[in-house]
Chain A
Amino acid sequence: MGGDGTLDRLKRKGRIVVVGASLAGLRAAETLRDKGFAGSLTLVGDEPYEPYDRPPLSKGVLLGKASADRTALPRLRNVDAKWRLGVAATGLDMGARRVRLADGDEVPYDRLLIATGVRARPWPHEGEGALDGVIVLRTRDDSAALSRMLAAGPRRVLVIGAGFTGSEIASACRERGHHVTVAERAAAPLVGALGGVVGAVAAELQREHGVDLRTGVMVTALDGDAAGRVRSAQLSDGSSVRADVVIVSLGATRNTEWLYGSGLGAGPRGIACDAGCRAFDIRGIVTDDIYAAGDVARCPHPLFGYQFLTLEHWGNAVAQAEIAAHNMLSESVDRVPHMEVPSFWSSQFGINIKSVGVPSMGTEILITQGSLESRRFVGVYGYQGRVIGAVGFDSARWLPFYQEQIEAAAPFPPEFSTVDRRTDGQRPVDADFPDPSVPTHGPTVTLSGYAPDDRRMTFVPAH
């Protein structure tokens, strides 16, 4: 090992603190130990549970295939860490290198990894959101509570917001035989992530499976009964829906408030970091001892013109955790950048939806394989004459090819023929994304410009 021995000392007896004890936090801890970190390791998590996996919460758990309190993540190795669970971090003193905890404790660090992720955006009217039967779905407690509500046999379930999570919940509820209404402000489900062309397929899927899908509407109010139980929802088209379970699925908010005032470049859009996951301070200068990973990190991506990207993706959490851990313990020349092509999956109504790249950056779409009508297809997104993303419905085995196309900045529209090219695939059409100035629910990929600073903008759904 080169350098002046600082790194060696860090490895032998340094103190590393990981704030956020979910997927990214755990994988980072494991990677640190894998790379020979022998010092003290502390994991701080606001939930009282050891790290658990979230994807099953909106799929397998609601279908009864798994239990909400039994989705703990497997341990790939021993991490020999001090766990501070059930206690949130409330502040950061960058100068003194200390993290303040909700119980008043302060934890000193030599290196800090922030992986505090996101939380579900709550219903904007506090009183209505507090009605019995109104719930968001993000944590294992949420999932357990929702499972209980569904087990009680509600007369109708209302899902507000048809992003991926909302659509998955609607799918599971239909499979369990519940009556389901979905209210979505956009013209179709999934439009924020995949655009209107694919969104139209998602809408058909929902309706075919018996979902009462209302698009182009907003929920304006939730009404409760005398006992404080939700009873109905008012929609912007003047109609109302009677429902005894209401799931608010309006996307996520990044857990960065605890960093405000610390001097770290953290805001509502996440924590700005460099391609090596090192966090910027508010002056736009990169720190050398603070790293960020997972849903909370905003990293410039070389494949997308170095725009800052925030990805609410499982694979991204793992990749960034490993990179942050590696870079923490490396001399500058040995550090590695985060270059993985974003990838995402969802399963709903019996269809496996996968995407690679950033479809939402695309302006046009070409169905290169299969057909929209058959619900088995690959759609390729183009942006300024190159391939920027792709989506597959039950076509996962073809996506590695499109990932290579994205990595190679291959020209769009693709000039080659493929197997299973149909009439849909003759020429590209407008991908039909909503106006980018109108925020959509849970796009899962957020592009946030080229500057590391983050205006303190807040997104208030127009409800």
Chain B
Amino acid sequence: MTLSLLHQILDYSNRSNPYPLYEELRKTPVYREDGGPYVVSTYYEIRSLFHDPRISSDTRNRTGSAADPLGGDSHEEAALPPSFLKLDPPEHDRLRRMTNRPFGPPHSPHRVDGMRPELREIITGLIDGISDPSRFDLVEEVSYPFPVTVICRLLGVPREDEARFHVWADTLAASLDPDPDADSADRGKVANEARMQLGMYLAGLIEERRKNPGDDMLSQLATAKGEDGPMTTMELLSTAALLLIAGHETTVNLITNGMLTLLRHPDVLKRLRREPGLAVPLVEELLRYEPPVQLVPQRTTLAEIEIRGVTIPKGSPVWLVLAAGNRDPQRFKDPDRFDPDRPDVQHLGLGSGIHSCFGAPLARLETQFALSELARRLEKPRLIEDPPPYRQNAVLRGPRQLHIACDGIRP
């Protein structure tokens, strides 16, 4: 049986290299197969849609659940209200503004910049602690614990509870996937359960932070007195869950994809060792070349819109395939080449428009620190397995493990 193009993209066997399929997809910039979502894969069209006010992020605007046979995610709303990721203005703007208050400018301009020493200390500790340089799993020893430790400190979530929320976070991340093969209702139930548990866990923490507020974001969100007033408890739970999951599930892939890409481009790895500043443009190119969020499957048209001659009716689900747009030859010369010197890298890797990645500055710094330190300290690193085994997830795509061998760890 031949699978349809969308099924092939979602099919696990193609996880290690979906790019030829994306190339196929781009031949039809607005692609649709039998009653499914409208899939947009070319750079300029995706960029336009990110700024198009006729596109909603709130899946409740879809007409009829049958409109999305490849798997919707409407069930998840039951346990907690939707986070700002899945809301439109003005609710989105209000919640994001309030969440930003203890995180970034204008109110907290030094929060992320001030984390630099801490980031350096954490990554140094993790690389120091690599158990067996002759064979180790980068995901387990560096890429996963690094962003998780950071998000826990930032939010004020005890690191030792990680084992508990790790499972919930994974389940919820998996639920983002429009997986055609799993039983949708079943998956919804599981995700809902995970959301409920995570919500209850966070509710306990927030209760504690209200009594004993610290410098962390949860404390500040729980006790906020900005012009928008405080968040409701339910809003706070949704927001905290979003930050925890996003901090968990995306940067880990960016770092792992980054090291994998470097090991496949030894010349660049060598350069990075000599020139740590290269990490800055390199991470931008990485966000283009191997974006941690491959596609955004939850947009909906609020009006009939026409793109590239295709009319999309009101209420239709629209997918934006960022990873395909990032390799659109109409926008990027020689798009399949990984080139950290590429000028003008305006990638789609962190989205664009009002929903552009909330944690972007942190993700950038973490990945810059991680890759430059790994390049500097690992002696003659080699891939043990190429391609490595991938996680199931097609949306948040990345290796499940990345086994590396090296001759030693430099101080």
Contacts and interface: CB of A to CB of B under 8 A. Distances in A.
Complex contact flag A–B (Cβ < 8 Å): yes
B303 A416 contact: yes
Given A369-B53, A401-B52, A418 B90 contact: no
Contact of B303 (A374, A376, A397, A417): A417
B302 A416 contact: yes
A376 B354 CA distance: 13
B305 interface: yes
Interface residues of B, number: 20
A370 interface: yes
Contact of A400 (B51, B54, B356): B51
A105 interface: no
B88 interface: yes
A444 interface: no
Nearest to B356: A397
A80 interface: no
Interface string B355-368: 01000000000000
B52 A374 contact: no
A404 interface: yes
Contacts of B105: none
A397 B305 contact: no
Contact of A419 (B47, B48, B56, B352): B56
A398 B48 contact: no
Contacts of A374: 90
Contacts of A440: none
Given A404-B48, A418-B54, A420-B53, A369 B89 contact: yes
A370 B90 contact: yes
B54 A397 contact: no
A369 B145 CA distance: 42
A417 B55 CA distance: 9
A418 B305 CA distance: 11
Contacts of B51: 397-401
Contact of B48 (A370, A399, A401, A416): A401
B69 interface: no
Interface SS of chain B: loop
A416 B356 CA distance: 24
A397 B355 CA distance: 10
A206 interface: no
B90 A401 contact: no
A416 B93 contact: no
B93 A397 contact: no
A249 interface: no
Contact of B302 (A376, A397, A401, A417): A417
Given A369-B53, A420-B53, A397 B89 contact: no
A400 B354 CA distance: 12
A368 B47 CA distance: 20
Interface string A409-429: 000000111111000000000
B281 to A, nearest CB: 17
A400 B52 CA distance: 8
A419 B89 contact: yes
B351 to A, nearest CB: 11
A420 B54 CA distance: 10
B387 interface: no
B303 A420 contact: no
B160 to A, nearest CB: 39
A398 B92 CA distance: 14
A285 B352 CA distance: 46
A418 B302 contact: yes
Contacts of B89: 369-370, 419-420
Given A369-B89, A416-B54, A416-B302, 6 more contacts: A370-B90, A400-B47, A400-B48, A417-B302, A419-B54, A419-B55
20 contacts: A369-B53, A369-B89, A370-B89, A370-B90, A374-B90, A378-B53, A397-B353, A398-B53, A401-B52, A404-B48, A416-B303, A416-B304, A417-B54, A417-B303, A418-B53, A418-B302, A418-B303, A419-B88, A419-B302, A420-B53
Interface of B: 47-48, 51-56, 88-90, 93, 302-305, 352-354, 356
